[in-house]
């Protein structure tokens, strides 16, 4: 097999960390089938626990970039161990890289892995939460289905995250897994579009609402019932939306509050 010597070098404990790193870099140019092969995948998985971050990060980056088959359960479980490792056993960047790889490697019906990623959405470090949220959205959207209430319920609390970047990523993920039939998600995104303190998050939320509406209109056809219920609830909570989406669903703008006389 071509690159057999490189794969063997990854498993050879006598090879220095720098030489292993160089070997991994060479493997970035091979085809996905080679990376997905039993020998190569197994060798890379062993390096996820390497004591040298240089080697560990390179192995995780290769798996993420190569996008191996979603049928390699052993690889998914190895990546999960990186994400779930105790704080003193794994660095933050490795966890972020592992979540990026899981986004590409995890089958949409692997609920054990999705629960693990959902737990990472609560991590104390912002970059890990962002990576976990992005992973949830990508894995679920690759199933070909739009509505994933089980996943969207795990994403909704992230709309209240103290970090604007996490909230924005949560909105983008919800846009991939939500449908107009999932009214709690649509209402939550509408409130975010109306009330979030970040301009970027509000814009992302409105774009997500437009995306959900246009997708559902094309696939489901008549959304009259769903839109009517959502408009009623938005009026009840005095949710003021930007003109674009409000006009799209026929939501009249709220009247301006009367000025108080002095």
More confident residue, 210 or 112: 112
The share of the chain scoring above pLDDT 70, in percent, equals 83
Considering the chain, what is the average pLDDT of its residues? Answer: 84
- Residues 114, 117, 120: CA angle, nearest 5 degrees: 155
Categorise residue 222: left if φ over 0, alpha if ψ from -120 to 50, beta otherwise.
Answer: beta
- State the CB neighbour count (10 A cutoff) for residue 91: 15
Q: Which of 104-108, 116-120, 172-176, 247-251 has the lowest mean pLDDT?
A: 247-251
The share of the chain scoring above pLDDT 90, in percent, equals 43
Burial class (CB in 10 A: 0-12, 13-18, 19+), 34: buried
Residue 68 has pLDDT above 70, yes or no: no
Average pLDDT over residues 191-204: 91
Architecture of domain 1-144: Alpha Horseshoe (1.25)
The token duo for 159 is 């709309």
Residue 244 has pLDDT above 50, yes or no: yes
The token duo for 120 is 């990472």
**pLDDT tens for each residue of 130-167:** 999 999 988 876 655 656 788 888 999 999 999 999 99
Burial class (CB in 10 A: 0-12, 13-18, 19+), 211: middle
Residue 87 has pLDDT above 80, yes or no: yes
Residues of the chain with CATH 1.25.10.10: 1-144
More confident residue, 142 or 32: 32
In this prediction the pTM is 0.83
Query: What DSSP string describes 161-217?
Result: -SSHHHHHHHHHHHHHH--TT-HHHHHHHHHHHHH-S-HHHHHHHHHHHHHHHHHHH
Q: Would you give the DSSP letter of residue 39?
A: H
Q: Judge contact between 192 and 205, C-beta under 8 A.
A: yes
Write down the pLDDT at residue 260.
42
Write down the pLDDT at residue 236.
75
């Amino acid at each position: 097999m071509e690159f057999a010597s490189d794969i063997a070098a990854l498993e050879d404990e006598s090879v220095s960390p720098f030489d292993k790193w160089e070997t991994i870099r060479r493997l970035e140019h091979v085809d996905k089938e080679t990376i997905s092969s039993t020998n190569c995948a197994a060798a890379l998985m062993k390096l996820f626990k390497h004591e040298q971050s240089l080697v560990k990060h390179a192995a995780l980056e290769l798996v993420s970039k190569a996008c191996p088959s979603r049928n390699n359960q052993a690889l998914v479980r190895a990546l999960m161990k990186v994400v779930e490792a105790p704080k003193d056993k794994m660095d933050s960047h490795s966890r972020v890289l592992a979540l990026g790889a899981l986004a590409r490697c995890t089958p949409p019906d692997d609920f054990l892995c999705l629960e693990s990623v959902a737990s990472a959405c609560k991590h104390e470090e912002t970059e890990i939460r962002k990576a976990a949220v992005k992973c949830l959205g990508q894995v679920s959207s690759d199933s070909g289905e739009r509505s994933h209430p089980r996943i969207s319920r795990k994403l909704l609390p992230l709309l209240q995250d103290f970090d604007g970047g996490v909230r924005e990523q949560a909105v983008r993920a919800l846009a991939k897994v939500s449908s107009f039939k999932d009214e709690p998600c649509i209402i939550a995104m509408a409130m975010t579009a109306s009330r979030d303190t970040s301009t970027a998050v509000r814009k992302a939320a409105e774009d997500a609402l437009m995306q959900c509406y246009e997708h559902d209109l094309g696939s489901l056809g008549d959304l009259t019932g769903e839109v009517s219920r959502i408009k009623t609830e938005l009026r009840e909570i005095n949710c003021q939306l930007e003109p674009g989406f409000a006009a799209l669903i026929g939501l009249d703008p709220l009247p301006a509050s009367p000025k108080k006389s002095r």
